[in-house]
Structure 1
Amino acid sequence: MPTLGFEVRAFGCHIQVAAECLETYAILERYVFPSLPRLVGGAEKPDISIRLVRVSDQFQLSVDDAVVASAGQAISLVPDLIRVLDEAVIQHLTTLHAVHAGAVLWGERVLLLPGVTHSGKSSLVAELLRRGATYFSDEYALIDSEGRVHPYPRPLLLRNGCPEQFPVLPGECNASIGDAPAPVGWVLALEYRPECTWSVAAMPQSEGLLTLLRNTPHVLAESPDLVRVFQHAVAGATCYAGCRTDVADAAGQILRLIGR
């Protein structure tokens, strides 16, 4: 079978993906920025080239001809695939700034949930989607020079109590993906503590700004206009910090807090 593939432009990053069978091509089609247009036969050299192929009884994920992961099932490589795409996009950002944060649209404003990887952002985002929010991201909030958040349409990576992550599309949470940038309405810095009750207090916008700075990917942390961009982002936002328990309780508390 001939090589199957397509190209995608994601926030200034030119991505080329390829497969050698229908099974692996279907994985790429489903999980590589599924809401972005597919391009075929681009003349430019891509910024990153990704291949997902089957070799004997294993599937291999390659980036620029170097194998970066292998597994017995193709679907098991999707978390690695998404992380590879994240890294490529973040490195090629020119006009946007990334923050480690879940982001959903509620009404006409974005709720930011800053936090490091593995802090439970994705599970909380998924629960908010099930309750009517619009999806922007479960891992990176992309913020422009005016402080607006742009949708970053990666699949969610959820654990649901398991060590391994698995990909979930927003539609599986009955949610749509945002189609335009929106201003920040709220910044909630929540720490997951299973033994605590919901305990959240307002914090000044200056603390909200520092929270965004603390959650900036290292590769972008030295950007000279970062503080100005985040000042714009929090200028119209209400900021909170505190702790939460399980996602069902936290989602309900959040929606009450932001005035559902």
Structure 2
Amino acid sequence: MSGGRLRVRSFGVVVELAWDDGVHPDAAANLAATLPPGATPTDDEPGRRVTVRADGPVDADGRFVLDGPDGRARHAHWDGLLHAVERDLASYVALHSPDAVFFHAGAVGTPRGAILLPGRSFAGKTTLVSALLRAGCSYLSDEYAVVDAGGLIHPYPRRLSIRGEGGRWNVPASELGARVQDAPLLCALVASVTYDPDADGVLTPLDPGRAALALVDNAVAALTRPREVLLASGALARGAVCLAGRRSDADAAARQLLDALA
């Protein structure tokens, strides 16, 4: 197969992204942007390999095919394919990293340390992360909090995945006027917050043990590396401000979180 490939290491995991000659060279640059943040080139054998293939005329359903260990998936639209590639590789790294524990969580930086927002997709993480960035926080991630053995939270500055009525946009934090955090931080606050348009927006103190359980519930490798997950969850919640509740307005919730650290 002609075309190209990128083989990289991210948080101790090697993955490979390849594409055939049906993919236009200009489009290959978009594929490179789907690699996990902080990835570095390597020649080591990959643990996971996915391949993008062009399939049929531009206006046909199934214009692109993503081949991987889990089978073949067709995508009629390029943006949908890019999202699938990014999700596939990131999920594999998050599950198999020997160097860190990954949590489904938004994460931003403050002078006091990191704010963690554990939650799965559609919990409103990105909206609240965006509000915190507007309030002056630095950006770590809107999808994964990456925690090393010492309890430090490392930047995972993927593009923010912002949903709207017209679809999904991947936006670099810099386009929102935010600074990307360039060094790991200790955890200062854990907030288990979910979106509810009818909520009163009041966030209340949460017992650190329950905060740790919320983190465990959102750990990618909770079933495969339970000991490391439990230790990391306890270390994050211990000594941190812990809050929980339902929020409606993201900017109001962001102010509450920052006030809790003041």
TM-score (norm. length: structure 2): 0.86
Contact 1:79 1:165 in 2 (8 A): no
Give the equivalent residue in structure 1 for 2:38: 36
Contact 2:54 2:64 in 1 (8 A): yes
Helix, strand or coil: the match of 1:180? Answer: coil
What is the deviation of 1:218? Answer: 5.6
**Equivalent residue letter for 1:11:** F
Instruction: Report matched runs for 1:18-29 at 5 Å.
Output: 18-19=18-19, 20=21, 21-29=24-32
Contact 1:105 1:134 in 2 (8 A): yes
Give the equivalent residue in structure 2 for 1:52: 52
Contact 2:219 2:229 in 1 (8 A): no
TM-score (norm. length: structure 1): 0.86
1:61 counterpart = 2:66: yes
Helix, strand or coil: the match of 2:257? Answer: helix
The CA deviation string for residues 68-110 of structure 1, in whole angstroms up to 9 with x for no partner, is 34123x1222221221012210222113112221111112511
The Cα RMSD (Å) is: 2.4
Give the equivalent residue in structure 2 for 1:216: 219
The CA deviation string for residues 198-227 of structure 1, in whole angstroms up to 9 with x for no partner, is 111112222211211222236546522332
Contact 1:27 1:75 in 2 (8 A): no
Contact 1:147 1:231 in 2 (8 A): no
Question: Distance between the aligned counterparts of 1:176 and 1:61, measured in 2?
Answer: 34
> Match for 2:184 among 148, 169, 181?
181
- Gap change, CA 1:77 and 1:172, over 3 Å in 2: farther
The CA deviation string for residues 41-84 of structure 1, in whole angstroms up to 9 with x for no partner, is x4322122233332222123332594334123x12222212210
Q: Tell me, which stretches of 5 or more residues in structure 1 are unaligned? A: none
Residue correspondences, number: 254
Question: Distance between the aligned counterparts of 1:108 and 1:25, measured in 2?
Answer: 40
Contact 1:100 1:139 in 2 (8 A): yes
Comparing 80-89 with 147-156, greater Cα deviation is found at 147-156
- Gap change, CA 1:129 and 1:50, over 3 Å in 2: farther
1:145 counterpart = 2:149: yes
Give the equivalent residue in structure 2 for 1:104: 108
The percent identity for this pair of structures is 29
What is the deviation of 1:161? Answer: 4.4
Contact 1:135 1:151 in 2 (8 A): yes
Q: Tell me, which stretches of 5 or more residues in structure 2 are unaligned? A: none
> Match for 2:163 among 159, 163, 188?
159
- Gap change, CA 1:221 and 1:103, over 3 Å in 2: farther
The CA deviation string for residues 129-160 of structure 1, in whole angstroms up to 9 with x for no partner, is 23322221112212222222122233222213
**Equivalent residue letter for 2:29:** A
Question: Distance between the aligned counterparts of 1:257 and 1:223, measured in 2?
Answer: 31
Give the equivalent residue in structure 1 for 2:83: 79
- Gap change, CA 1:52 and 1:202, over 3 Å in 2: same
Give the equivalent residue in structure 2 for 1:6: 6
Instruction: Report matched runs for 1:98-137 at 5 Å.
Output: 98-137=102-141
**Equivalent residue letter for 2:64:** F
Helix, strand or coil: the match of 1:99? Answer: strand
